[in-house]
Chains A and B, each alone.
Chain A
Amino acid sequence: DAKTTQPNSMESNEEEPVHLPCNHSTISGTDYIHWYRQLPSQGPEYVIHGLTSNVNNRMASLAIAEDRKSSTLILHRATLRDAAVYYCILRRAGSYQLTFGKGTKLSVIP
């Protein structure tokens, strides 16, 4: 399975944009890039996913590099509620297993 690499932790000021990076240099052509986040004492929450093109939804934007070896999750205005561990996961087309790594712990400073 292709692996992802994320920074252990990041900090952001409230109401500022946050860019969370993810490297996946061994990604295959059929791997989708998924992002989940997990707030303390809660289950993971689906955020967004994409294959090649950039994606936007009400929660975030996903920017995918042209060579697909990296991607960035963008939170446009961080709020205190966005403090969580963010997981970047590769999921092969046709596969249902999600493999969670250590993720990036995002702290939001008021």
Chain B
Amino acid sequence: NAGVMQNPRHLVRRRGQEARLRCSPMKGHSHVYWYRQLPEEGLKFMVYLQKENIIDESGMPKERFSAEFPKEGPSILRIQQVVRGDSAAYFCASSQGEEQPQHFGDGTRLSIL
């Protein structure tokens, strides 16, 4: 049973570049959540998606960040024109249903030079 798969595990970008983070949920899971963990802090909710729909993006910064979960393929978290403050670990989780436990991937560690 494959768990939640995130790639890449580590991503280095220069300021102004774009970062694309991918997440494949567990088999049978159609609910995907993205969280961000800044150094020395707890995880913070960013966005909740179901197939082809954004359900709640209240935790996403209003600019430069977007997320999608297409009918086919992984969920993508996209950060345009990255800045140093975007350096963090980004975690994806998936669940079978909205109230079921969330299962997390091992994250993508984004470093901005």
Chain A interfacial positions (CB closer than 8 Å to B): 34, 41-46, 49, 87, 93-94, 96-103
Q: Which of B64-72, B77-85, B101-109 contacts A (4 or more CB under 8 A)?
A: B101-109
Q: Is the Cβ of A49 less than 8 Å from the Cβ of B101?
A: yes
Flag if A46 contacts B101 (CB, 8 Å).
yes
Residues of chain B within 8 A (CB-CB) of A42 are 106-107
Q: How far is the CA of A100 from the CA of B44 in the complex (A)?
A: 7
A94 touches B99 (CB 8 A): yes
Q: Which residues of B contact A49 (CB under 8 A)?
A: 101
B33–A96 CB distance below 8 A: yes
Provide the main secondary structure of the chain B interface: strand
Say yes or no: is B39 at the interface (Cβ < 8 Å to chain A). Answer: no
Is B98 an interface residue when CB atoms closer than 8 A count as contact?
yes
CA distance A49 to B100 in the complex (A): 10
Q: Which residue of the partner chain A has the closest CB to B103? A: A46
A43 adjacent to B33 (CB under 8 Å): no
Q: Is the CB of B42 within 8 A of A103?
A: yes
Since A45-B104, A103-B42 are in contact, a sample of 16 more A-B pairs with Cβ atoms closer than 8 Å, ordered by chain A residue number, is A42-B107, A43-B104, A43-B106, A43-B107, A44-B91, A44-B93, A46-B102, A49-B101, A93-B99, A96-B31, A96-B33, A96-B48, A97-B48, A98-B45, A100-B42, A102-B42
Complex Cα distance A41/B104, Å?
A: 12
B30 to chain A, nearest CB (A): 13
Please name 24 pairs of A and B residues whose Cβ atoms are closer than 8 Å in the assembled complex, sorted by A: A34-B101, A43-B4, A43-B104, A43-B105, A43-B106, A43-B107, A44-B43, A44-B91, A44-B104, A46-B101, A49-B101, A93-B99, A94-B99, A96-B31, A96-B56, A96-B99, A96-B102, A97-B56, A98-B35, A99-B45, A100-B44, A101-B42, A102-B42, A103-B42
